[in-house]
Amino acid sequence: MNKDVIYIEPEDDITDIISKLKSAEQKVVALVPPKNIGVLRSAVNTKLIAKTAKLNDKAAVIITTDPSLMKLSAIAGLPIAKDLQSRPKMPEDFTPEELNANGPISIDERKIDDGTNDEDTPEKPVEKSAPEKPAAKKPAQEITSDDLEKGDEKAKKSGDKKAKKSGKIPDFDKYRKWIILGIAAFVLLVGFIIWATVFAPFAKIAVNVRTTADNFSENVSFTTDSKKEDVEKGVFYLESQEYKQDSSVEFSATGSKDVGERAKGTLNVEVYVKDNYKIAAGTEFKTGDLSYTADSGATITFGDDSKCTNSLTSVAKDGCLLSASVAVTATAPGEKYNVSSGRTWTSGLSGKTGKITNSAAFSGGTSKTQIFVQQSDIDTAKNKLEAGDEAGGKEELKKKFGDDMMIIESSYSVEPTNIVSTPAVNGEVGDGVQPKLTAATIYKMSAVKKSAVEKYIKGMVEKGLPEDQKLYSVGNPFFEKYTADNNGGATAKLKTTVQTGPKITEEDILEKVKGKKTGEVQTLIKSINGVSSVKVDTSFFWVTSVPTDPNKIQIDLKVEE
């Protein structure tokens, strides 16, 4: 029968033997111990070997001739063989002489199984130091697994009875495992207590602080002399940048006039006179809504009664009705002034007049519209020029200021210089001509240092705060109503928003809470004016106090906007 052979070394302990037994591949395992091995001198160890073999469905055989080891094997119910070629036997199958034979075999006497069947290998007798008496032996038979199980039960019962009768000192080896486990558990318990009380405690304290938003508005002034700057009084040094650019803009001329010919004609004017009468040049005559003026004066001579066209009675009353021819010209050009004959006229003559008639039509009036540049056209083009590159001018100026400067947007100005209009004012715009305005444009902008503005705001705000309050943040300040004076200075109103709240820091909280109970911490911090909420979280449920070590305390201070 094939079997595994395990040679037990002197330094092996019971765990090594059991491990080798479990890892054996064959069902039958031969255990070959050295001489005077101590590990198998214990009934407990031999029983452990027997139990392990049973649990792993193996047949363990002790190869020995040592009487004491054979007896212990008998107690444990382990089969015994004299050598590797002998058939294993249960201990009760050995005679007393066999159990008391010579000492255990040496390593040199062991023979390694070559893997052949035991039935084909002749047994080799073990040499003995003294002749043995012949004794009747039971016929050798091969041990089956059932025989091993029965033998194990018998050995167990026999061993239990002998242990009760003998009253031996208890074997503490079987308690060694529990002792080791107990010590390990004690060490773990002590370590846990140290960890739980020294290393594990940790506290996180979340404090929410309520702040108040206030509007900040103060009048400030600016100076171009750096020596006159006084930040505490709100006097800031003004730095300016300038950007020049030649620009032009086309515009439309809106002026127009009629430059055509004026109509001309002759009027027959009757006037009641009592003395010589003169019709002055420029005297106005009208027909409908058309106006004409006398080109030159005309004189009517009084005294020639034969020329009177009215009766003598009317002469004494109104004067002599005399007439004169007057050349007139229309006050404006246009074809509409070419009127037909026989029109009704009025005049601006003094005294009483008779009929005013034109016996012939007026002619010569023509219409011709001429476009010209008005001053209003140039003003409109100038405004367009100023706004045309406003964005570009601002960007170029901002590039000249550093990041530490606060730009005053309302200080931005555009000033066109050397303005030239083509055509000029009242100039005629010919056909195909586009009026154009050119100028050298100067863009200007001013700024002050951000640090100076922030210093002024903080100083003004903190000056008016109670002792238990502080300034938390400053919004984005800006200037409005910027007004420059003739001396290079300016005034403006500085505006922003500020957040104020309780004067408390993480360091203040840390000093107040070290070593205190969690409930006491909440009450203490919540009593500070401006603290809206306090939350204390500990690392474990058994941690009821805040550690004294600052490294084990986390403070989260949150400002509510």
* 213-233 tens-digit pLDDT: 889 999 999 998 889 999 999
pLDDT of 113: 38
The pLDDT assigned to 162 comes to 45
Among residues 278, 274, 279, 325, which one has the least CA distance to residue 304?
274
The residue extents of the domains of the chain are 4-168, 241-252+371-449, 260-367
The Cα 316–Cα 12 span in angstroms is 178
Separation between Cα atoms, residue 236 and residue 220, nearest integer Å: 8
Does the pLDDT at position 346 exceed 80?
A: yes
What pLDDT does 339 receive? 93
pLDDT band at 365 (very low <50, low <70, confident <90, very high): very high
Please state the rounded mean pLDDT for residues 488-512.
86
> Of 71-85, 101-115, 439-453, which gets the smallest average pLDDT?
101-115
Cβ atoms of residues 339 and 307 within 8 Å: no
CATH of 260-367, one of 2.70.50, 2.40.30, 2.160.20, 2.60.40: 2.40.30
2: Cβ–Cβ under 8 A, 6 or more apart, which residues? Answer: 26, 28, 113, 115, 117
Q: Please give the sequence-ordered ranges of beta strands (E in DSSP) within 383-530, or none if there are none.
A: 405-422, 436-449, 469-474, 478-484, 490-502
Mean pLDDT, the chain, rounded, equals: 79
What pLDDT, in 10s, does the model give residues 124-148? Answer: 333 333 444 443 333 334 444 444 4
State percent of the chain over pLDDT 90.
Answer: 18
In this prediction the pTM is: 0.42
Q: What is the pLDDT of residues 232-278, one digit of tens each?
A: 999 999 998 888 888 788 888 888 888 889 999 999 998 888 888 88
Counting Cα atoms < 13 Å in the Cβ hemisphere of 172 gives: 3
For residues 386 and 537, the model is more confident at 537
pLDDT band at 507 (very low <50, low <70, confident <90, very high): confident
Q: What's the pLDDT tens digit per position in 388-413?
A: 656 567 788 888 888 899 988 888 88
What are 446-497's pLDDT values in tens digits?
999 999 999 999 999 988 888 888 888 899 999 988 998 887 789 999 999 9
pLDDT for 304 equals 57
| pLDDT value for 216 | 93
100-104, 171-175, 477-481, 556-560: which is most confident: 477-481
pLDDT digits (tens, 9 = 90+) for 285-294: 999 999 999 9
Tell how strand 4-7 and strand 235-237 pair up. Answer: unpaired
Tokens of 301: 């001579």
Checking if the pLDDT of 167 tops 50, the result is no
